[in-house]
Chain A
Amino acid sequence: MGGTESISTGETSQDHLYRDAADKYGSALERLARAYEADLEKRRDLIQEIHFQLWRSFQRFDARCSTRTWIYRVAHHVAASHVLRERRTFSNLVNLEELETLPDKTQGQFAADQRMNLERLSALIQQLKPLDRQVIISYLEDMDAAAIGEITGLSSGNVAMRIHRIKNILARRFHEGGSHAE
């Protein structure tokens, strides 16, 4: 199925907005879904759900915030709902304090190549609670603290503090992983 086949009801501005968003942010949304869902099948469903909700949301888009903020908010909302629905309990998710004390399950693996590092990073992010995930995912998409704050609702200072802590944890984990491999 291509992207330009005829649609019986004709294209609306909602459709145009969605199509632009999907073209521009499609791969970013896939990265976002990867950080929320490890299972391939479920991830595919999550991506579909994000796209669907995004299309619905453009019916109400009034440019009160940037398109990027709008898209990420919808995507994170869908993903957070997905986490809550799938997990049912929070016992498997941790906040930053707990993450600092948790042993790294992937520590014994050789983490030299980039793909492996990416998997470790995804595994680490998947342990976080939705709000911290939103912060680090947005940061990895090169957003600054103000833009992340606009999406998450956290103050810039709070965002910066969380990024700093997550980066420290990641750096320590990767350093430990590297010295294990040597």
Chain B
Amino acid sequence: MTLEKIRRKVRELHAKTRRELLGNIAAPLAVVVFSGLGAAIFDDPPQRTAFALALAWALAGQYFLHRGMWSATLPGDAALTTGLEFYRREIERRRYLFRRVLKWSFGPMLLAIGALLLPIVTGGVRERGAFRNMIPFLTLLALWLVGFFVIRMRQHRELQREIEELNDIERENKR
């Protein structure tokens, strides 16, 4: 790889970082807009409060989520650390991000959806036909939520197992 190619790669990396940053804020931004609109449009006070909470949660989430994401050490900056240290750090960062994403990105989205659905569902119970019409959508939503949690939990368990294996290796190292 020539030096000219490397310099081009530096420029590409900067562009990629900007694209990733935009990609990462797209979903929370949608939650912010959606919750802002919800808080402005609906008259029901509990519903407005829930939307306002979702909005504040999503905004705070941006700060906490990105703080964790951008503190990652690039492999080229970690040449003084050994493979074992670097690998452990990467796994722990991943586990930390999993928790953060659940708390700061998935949480506000769930609250905003709940705020929108609750009056529709409770109102729909009174009008039986409307509620029945919503059952397929609610079922799909529930399946998506369960699927999301199951996959996330499995990934979390795998990361935990990986950390335990690394602990064993470090114990072997000390013998």
A residues adjacent to B (C-beta < 8 A): 1-3, 5, 7, 9, 11, 15, 18-19, 22, 47-48, 51-57, 60-61, 64-65, 70, 73-74, 76-78, 80-81, 84, 88-91, 95, 129-131, 134, 150-155, 157-158, 161
B residues adjacent to A (C-beta < 8 A): 1-7, 9-10, 13, 74-87, 90-91, 94, 154-155, 158-159, 161-162, 165-166, 169, 172-175
Nearest 10 interchain pairs by C-beta: A153-B82, A53-B76, A153-B84, A77-B75, A56-B76, A57-B76, A51-B1, A152-B83, A78-B75, A155-B173
A130, B3: Cα distance in complex, Å: 29
Chain B neighbourhood of A78, CB < 8 A: 75-76
B25 to chain A, nearest CB (A): 20
Q: Is the CB of B1 within 8 A of A22?
A: yes
Chain B neighbourhood of A158, CB < 8 A: 169, 172-173
| CB-defined A-B contacts under 8 Å, sample of 19 | A18-B3, A52-B9, A52-B76, A55-B3, A60-B79, A61-B79, A70-B79, A73-B83, A74-B75, A74-B79, A78-B75, A129-B165, A130-B83, A131-B87, A131-B166, A150-B82, A154-B84, A154-B169, A157-B175
B156 to chain A, nearest CB (A): 11
A153 to chain B, nearest CB (A): 3
Chain B neighbourhood of A19, CB < 8 A: 3
B30 to chain A, nearest CB (A): 24
Q: Is the CB of B75 within 8 A of A7?
A: no
Q: Which residue of A lies closest to B1 (CB)?
A: A51
Chain B neighbourhood of A3, CB < 8 A: 2
Chain A neighbourhood of B83, CB < 8 A: 73, 76-77, 80, 130-131, 134, 151-154
A88, B152: Cα distance in complex, Å: 11
Chain A neighbourhood of B6, CB < 8 A: 18, 51-52, 55
Q: Is the CB of B81 within 8 A of A2?
A: no
What 17 new A-B contacts, CB under 8 Å, besides A22-B1, A155-B175?
A1-B4, A5-B4, A7-B7, A19-B3, A48-B1, A52-B10, A52-B76, A60-B77, A60-B80, A73-B81, A74-B78, A77-B83, A80-B87, A129-B165, A130-B83, A131-B166, A155-B174
Q: Which residue of A lies closest to B9 (CB)?
A: A52
A131, B89: Cα distance in complex, Å: 13
Q: Is the CB of B76 within 8 A of A54?
A: yes
Chain A neighbourhood of B78, CB < 8 A: 73-74, 77
Q: Is the CB of A81 within 8 A of B2?
A: no
Chain B neighbourhood of A152, CB < 8 A: 82-84
Q: Is the CB of B84 within 8 A of A1?
A: no
Chain A neighbourhood of B81, CB < 8 A: 73, 77, 153
Chain A neighbourhood of B2, CB < 8 A: 1-3, 5
A96, B165: Cα distance in complex, Å: 11
Chain A neighbourhood of B13, CB < 8 A: 52
